[in-house]
Each structure stands twice: as structure tokens, then as C-alpha cells.
Amino acid sequence: MASIFWVEDQSHWIKKFSPVLEREDFDGKPNSLTILNFAEAARQKIALTDKDSPPDVALLDARMNGNDQAGFTVSTALRKKWPRLPIIYLSEHSGTEIEREALEQFSAQDFIAKHQHNVEQVLCWRIKAALRQASLDTDLTATVNVVNSGDLTIDLNTWNVYWKGQRLMNPSNARRPLAPTPRKLLRELVQSSPRPLTAIQIADRLDLDPEKFSYASYRQHIKTLRRAFDAVEDGEGRFTELCNNGEGIVTFGDEGAYLWKPPGGKSA
């Protein structure tokens, strides 16, 4: 049975696509379709759903009730609870900034234009592809290969980093992913928590040349990470402020070391 979590605020689209989604053979069993009409109701439903009982795929409208960010708030809640859940947007706003944000900032697996030719078949094809890829990913990761610490998730297969459900991107270019070294450095800090790590220890763990990976290099990567966190906190420096107050990526002592301390006292 394919369990589909669908958020759509317009009844005519629900009438158009519901019969298709209910009768399509995704896995040889009847499908389960959960439809929510408002972003707030969807977030409440996510909060009340058991973490061990995720849907198979989420289908989201992007702009709802006049709010361009409505679909993204649902995506963030889904990613926070189920980081590997396939998310597909079904929207009237393809080819716009909304589509760019969905794919680059909120890690949508696909973005489908509602008004395109043959959209019902296209939707089913894309859902089948998402379910097939999710099945492959599950087979490849029989043992969990994800690092979690409070609101932070690091996917060790893709090396994507998520903070409060949003993917960390390059703070100097939001269209590019965070560079490999900061991501790996963050993993070491999280896995070492609450012990701090010096530049020499990081160089050893990441097999870097200790003569080239100086404290200045370490500090620059930390600065990049903090800015990346800030970017998903609306770019207002909230995460850096947390760090300065002793949470997040914290400067330790006079030895040029840093440590990861989960904000809010959440366990690593």
C-alpha cells in the first residue's frame, strides 16, 4: 500500500487528482491517501503522527491561501521528522522563484506543473520513480547511516545537512551545496560531542595535511558553517548568536578548539 500525504487547498484539484491517486497501482495494493487543506492542519498532523509511521511520499501544493511559503513550512516539518521522505510539489507556479526555492532550498525531489499536458500520468510516473528510488535507498542503507543531534540531521550517504528540516547550502551562493570539508568537519564535531576538537585532531580525522590545515583554516570553515546555519534561520545571525552564548558550534578555551553543543539542551 502506498501511503500518500497530500496538502492541497483547492477543491477542484483534489477532485481532479484524487481518483487517479486512489486507483493507480503503485505497489500492487490499495493506496492510502491523506488529504489536508491547510498548511497549519498539515503541520499538526505531522506532529501527531508516530515518527516510525511515515508516509511513503508527500505531495505538496506550494502556494496556499495566498501564502508563497505555505508549502515550504509543511516541507520543513516533514523533513524535520522524516529527513529521507520523498517530497514532490504539485503546483501552478512552475518556472517561478517558488520552484527554484523548492528544489534548491527545501530539497524537493520533484516539481510538477499542474497545467501541463497529460499531468495525471506524469504525476503517477513521478510518484513511482520517487517510491522506486526510496526503496533503493532503503536497500543501500540497511543500517541507519544518518547522524542526528537535536534539530540537526547529517545524511552520510548524500552528505546533505539539514537544520530544522532545511538543507544547509553554501552561504556565499545559495544555489550551491555546502562544501564537503565543512560538512565532514561538522560530522566530526557532532560525533565527538561533548568533547572539543582542535585543528590537529580534525586534520587527523579527515586525513588532511596538518601543515596546511591550520587553526586559521579551521576557523574559516567554522565561520562558513555558522553562516550556513544563519541562512536557514532567516539570515538574521540567530545561530551565530547562539554560538556566542555557548550553544551550537562553540569556541572552546584557548587551544583553538571547537565543540558541538546541541541548542536547547537537546541530546546529541
pLDDT in tens, 119-132: 999 999 999 998 88
How far is Cα 145 from Cα 236, in angstroms, rounded to an integer? 32
3-state secondary structure of 87: strand
**Confidence bin at 142 (pLDDT 50/70/90):** very low
CB atoms inside a 10 Å sphere around CB 66: 7
% of residues, the chain, pLDDT over 90: 54
E strands present in 156-256: 161-163, 166-167, 169-170, 173-177, 197-198, 248-252
What domains lie within the chain, and their CATH numbers? Answer: 3-140 (3.40.50.2300), 146-265 (1.10.10.10)
Grid coordinates belonging to 25:
497501482
Nearest CA to 190 out of 229, 245, 220 is that of 229
Q: pLDDT of 186-224, one tens digit each? A: 999 999 998 999 999 999 889 888 888 999 999 999 999
Amino acid 96 reads T
CA pair distance 219, 144, nearest whole angstrom: 31
Residue 117 has pLDDT above 60, yes or no: yes
